[in-house]
Amino acid sequence: MRAEELHHPTGRVLVVVCDKGEDPVSVVGDALHRYGLCAGRVTAVGGFREAEVGWFDPERADYRRIPVREQVEVLSLLGDVAARDGQPVLHVHAVLGRSDGSTVGGHLLGAKVWPTLEVIVTEVAPELAKQVDPGTGLALIAGPGR
Amino acid sequence: MRAEELHHPTGRVLVVVCDKGEDPVSVVGDALHRYGLCAGRVTAVGGFREAEVGWFDPERADYRRIPVREQVEVLSLLGDVAARDGQPVLHVHAVLGRSDGSTVGGHLLGAKVWPTLEVIVTEVAPELAKQVDPGTGLALIAGPGR
Amino acid sequence: MRAEELHHPTGRVLVVVCDKGEDPVSVVGDALHRYGLCAGRVTAVGGFREAEVGWFDPERADYRRIPVREQVEVLSLLGDVAARDGQPVLHVHAVLGRSDGSTVGGHLLGAKVWPTLEVIVTEVAPELAKQVDPGTGLALIAGPGR
């Protein structure tokens, strides 16, 4: 893992480069904790040699796990960071591209990077707070009206 | 609808959280009007219980409507805001993920959120102006050369 | 090509609007060179009348080329800019949507825009440096640990 905190007139930006074999969910989560970044937009570009994505099943109130066991381009990796109990929580979804250009995607549960994943996290506020939604058990961003 | 305007060294950011059953196109559009945000980048992560996306048919100069009648992950929701006649216009495309990880997408015409949609709009300028393109009837961002 | 450099409290933003028939890879690359923007996040929304995307084949250490010969919505176009030998290098992946809502995507090798492509590049640092990875021959962002 290599992470860089940039101080720039545009505010705080975290650039995280995941190396071969690393799991971006844990690597980016670690970087967020290390730098205490609790509200941000996350995007990334790169590739995975395998991944697991999820579809949230409303009836079971849990993720259905979808394994992806091949080299894929990370076509889109998009999400946000918010705080639960003062700690940053990463919420990202991914669209992955197979060798024939077909796509598969879901909530990113885990992956092995190959050859790289270039992640940019831009801070948008000191903190966005998450609260557990009683209906689903998911931690969702709580707006000012809650 | 719950919307929050954040003033931060990085500039103006709008965080909009759409609740269950809300239509993000109208909710985000309302938030843009309320805060007068007329130039920005839009991203989001969350889920829909149904949606309608569109493919612009060059021959008919209109959108072909593609209904999505199932719970989907919002894998990517990406677009921009620009002004037409001084009012903010939202232009977003979406990639949606089904229970088996397969994807469907298009220009986002409407949707019903479930369980949440977390939208971040970062202002990039006071205003980006749109003009109607005579060839298609679409309002497109007009650059300085026009 | 129409490109605009915006000076705003949020930092430097490049808005590039690609017109009908233009190739976004060369147009955006030209804009990055003209303005010397060497570290940024890239997003876009619009349409292509044709495109070529790629899947990086680990065995051949080269892109497998996937032609897309139809009008598609640009559902997601996401990536970054970093510097190689002091010059900006664009790295973007795309998810494209066909008339039935099905998707195809990959590393964006080239495309012909129709009717527009609205690109936003936000600068995140003065420079992110790329180095050639010996294992793949690809130029990857080099973090502080390298």
* Structural domain contains residue B10: yes
- 8 Å CB contact of A57 and B99: yes
Is residue C146 a part of any domain in this protein? no
Identify the pLDDT of residue A125: 78
Is the pLDDT score of C75 beyond 90? yes
Say what percent of chain B tops pLDDT 90: 67
Residues forming beta bridges with residue C47, ordered by sequence position? C73
pLDDT at C124: 83
Q: What is the pTM of this model?
A: 0.93
Number of H helices, E strands in chain A: 1, 9
Give the pLDDT band of residue C8 (cuts 50, 70, 90).
Answer: very low
CA distance C94 to A97: 9
Task: Decide: A89 and A139 in contact? Cβ < 8 Å.
Answer: yes
pLDDT tops 70 at residue B25: yes
Complex ipTM value: 0.92
| Chain B: partners with 3+ C-beta pairs within 8 Å | A, C
Give the best-scoring range by mean pLDDT among A16-20, B89-93, C32-36: B89-93
Q: Is residue C76 part of a domain?
A: yes
Write the residue in A43, A93, A128 that is nearest to B74 by C-beta.
Answer: A93
pLDDT in tens, B28-53: 999 999 888 888 999 999 999 999 99
Higher pLDDT, residue C124 or B59: B59
CATH code of the domain containing B102: 3.30.1330.80
**C63 DSSP 8-state letter:** E
Pairwise CB contact (< 8 Å): B8 & A56: no
- Mean pLDDT, chain C, whole residue set: 88
The rounded distance, in Å, linking the Cα atoms of B73 and A57 is 10
Is C100 exposed, middle or buried, given 0-12, 13-18 or 19+ CB atoms closer than 10 A? Answer: exposed
Query: Which SS3 state, helix, strand or coil, does residue C145 take?
Result: coil
- 3-state class of C10 per DSSP? coil
What is the pLDDT averaged over residues C41-67?
A: 97
Determine whether the interchain pair A102/C104 forms a contact, defined as Cβ–Cβ distance below 8 Å. yes
pLDDT at A35: 87
pLDDT of residue A2: 38
What pLDDT score was predicted for residue B7? 41
- Smallest CA–CA distance, residue A96 to chain C, in Å, is 8
Compute and round to an integer the Cα radius of gyration of chain C.
Answer: 15
CA distance B66 to B52: 6
C94: closest CA of chain B, how far (Å): 11
Least confident of A7-21, B90-104, C16-30: A7-21
Q: Which residues of A touch C128 (CB under 8 A)?
A: 15
- Find all residues with CB under 8 Å of B60, minimum gap 6, and list them: none
Query: Is C83 contained in some domain?
Result: yes
- Closest residue, chain B, to A139 (C-alpha): B116
What kind and span of H or E run contains B39?
Answer: none
Of residues B53, B124, B133, nearest to C101 (C-beta):
B53
Predicted local confidence at residue A1, as pLDDT: 27
Q: C140 - beta bridge partners?
A: C131
Token pair for C13: 């933003």
- Residue-level pLDDT at A3: 46
Chain A residues touching residue C143 (CB < 8 angstroms): 2-4, 15-17
Which chain A residues are closer than 8 Å to B101 by Cβ? 53, 55, 66, 68, 104-106
pLDDT of residue B143: 63
User: Roughly how many angstroms between the first and final C-alpha of chain B, as a whole number?
Assistant: 37
List of residues 6+ apart from A97 with CB closer than 8 A? A72, A73, A74, A75, A103, C53, C55, C93, C95, C105, C106
3-state secondary structure of C83: strand
Residue range of the domain that includes A125: 2-141
Contact between residue B76 and residue B64 where contact means Cβ atoms under 8 Å apart? no
Shortest alpha-carbon distance between residue B30 and chain C (Å): 21
pLDDT under 50: residue ranges of chain A: 1-4, 6-10, 145-146
In a domain, A112, yes or no: yes
Tens of pLDDT, residue by residue over B56-87, are: 999 999 999 999 999 999 999 999 999 999 99
Per the listing, tokens 């290390």 go with A34
Distance from CA of C112 to the nearest CA of B (A): 14
pLDDT of residue C1: 26
Q: Are A131 and A56 in contact (CB under 8 A)?
A: no
**Which residues on chain C are in Cβ contact (under 8 Å) with B7?**
none
From CA B113, how far away is CA C105, in angstroms rounded? 26
Q: Which helix (H) or strand (E) holds B116?
A: strand B103-123
Q: Which of A56, A70, A90 to mutate to test the interface with B (most CBs of B within 10 A)?
A: A56
Question: Which letter does DSSP use for residue A44 in this model?
Answer: E
Question: Based on the structure, what is the number of domains in chain C?
Answer: 1
